[in-house]
Amino acid sequence: MPHAYPYLTGLIEHAACRADIVLAVVYPCEPLALRASLDVAARGLAQVVLVGPHSRITQIALESDADLSRVEIVDTVDDPIAAAHAAAALVAEGRAHMLMKGSLHTDQLMGVLVSREAGLRTNRRISHAFMFDMPDVDRPLMLTDCVVNIEPDLLVKRDIVQNAIDLAHAIGIGRPRVGILSATEAINPAIRGTVDAAALCKMAERGQITGGELDGPLGFDNAISAESARIKHIASTVAGSPDILLVPNLETGNTLYKSLIYLGHAQCAGLVLGTRVPVVLTSRTDSEFSRLASVALGVVFARKPHAVAA
């Protein structure tokens, strides 16, 4: 599998060149979560700290014949939210540079991420971005936000775009092209996404969004196909070659993300952004390769100074 996905494979290899980032795994209290954590340590992607009840983690390791010698355990009471707060404290103390979800529910972890007392929030809205590696596409493609924000308004979309642009910079895309998706490329007041897209482009012109080139609204066809854009007479330097696609809402993004995985045979890496440190949200349906790629993406991002900006 890795040989068919050169961008994510290269990302994993790059991240493993030196294990200088500490990854805190929150409540890895079931075999799959523990195995994923130990895979990260075995690959040398990061220094792994397991945050959760010591006795339960060691019991799972014993039952799974797993080797804990390469990881550290920070003991907590057997409560996932307590473990999340303990992991946040490691970040505050400078002892962890990124987080990964273990076996707690996503809403439990997100509840801690957005809480003021955890100290993980920044002046940006929290969002999520995927990076896709697709067999028939000659470049990686980012998609945001498919996980966190349900119906983002204009100002939330501004932060979602800026978070994704910062991530693109971290992986070496100097001036990412951002295609803002909607149902049509024409501005229609009845379709809020088209109006938001136009406003976002103007915000980029005025310096309210920096570091990227925006265009929209764009239908999915003319966003990804230069030929489609030509047929529809869309003059754009983004259409046909986007680095980032901004979706109008979570339903659209989630459907598109799963379509790329299950029909387009893509592999992906994903991160929560807009927090003091990058956060990997694992899913039981993620492939082992996808989990490793997500950690690698977080490692590369965590090495950049802006990754921990207030």
Q: What are phi and psi of 73, to 5 degrees?
A: -120, 125
Q: How far is CA 156 from the centre of its chain?
A: 16
Which spans in 172-287 are helix H?
192-205, 220-224, 226-231, 250-262
Give the pLDDT confidence score for residue 136 in this predicted structure: 86
Q: Does domain 123-274 have CATH number 3.40.50.150?
A: no
Question: What pLDDT score does 286 carry?
Answer: 85
Alpha-helical segments (H) within 65-191: 80-92, 106-114, 154-170
* Model pLDDT, residue 94: 95
Question: Are the C-beta atoms of residues 258 and 268 closer than 8 Å to each other?
Answer: no
Structure tokens at 76: 């907590």
Q: Cα Rg for the chain, rounded, in angstroms? A: 19
Which 3 state secondary structure label does DSSP give 243? coil
**Residue 197 is which amino acid?**
A
Q: Residue 308: its pLDDT value, please?
A: 43
Average pLDDT per block of 10 residues along the chain, 310 residues long: 79 89 96 94 96 97 94 97 97 96 94 92 95 92 96 98 97 96 95 97 97 97 93 93 97 96 94 96 87 96 67
Q: Are strands 141-144 and 127-133 parallel, antiparallel or unpaired?
A: antiparallel
Residue 262 to residue 234: CA distance in whole angstroms: 30
Q: What is the pLDDT of residue 3?
A: 53
d(Cα 15, Cα 12) in Å, to the nearest integer? 5
Domain boundaries of the chain, sorted by first residue: 123-274
CA distances from 115 to 119, 124, 231, 282 (A): 7, 14, 48, 21
How far is Cα 113 from Cα 121, in angstroms, rounded to an integer? 7
Q: Which helix (H) or strand (E) holds 129?
A: strand 127-133
Whether 38 contacts 71, CB under 8 Å: yes
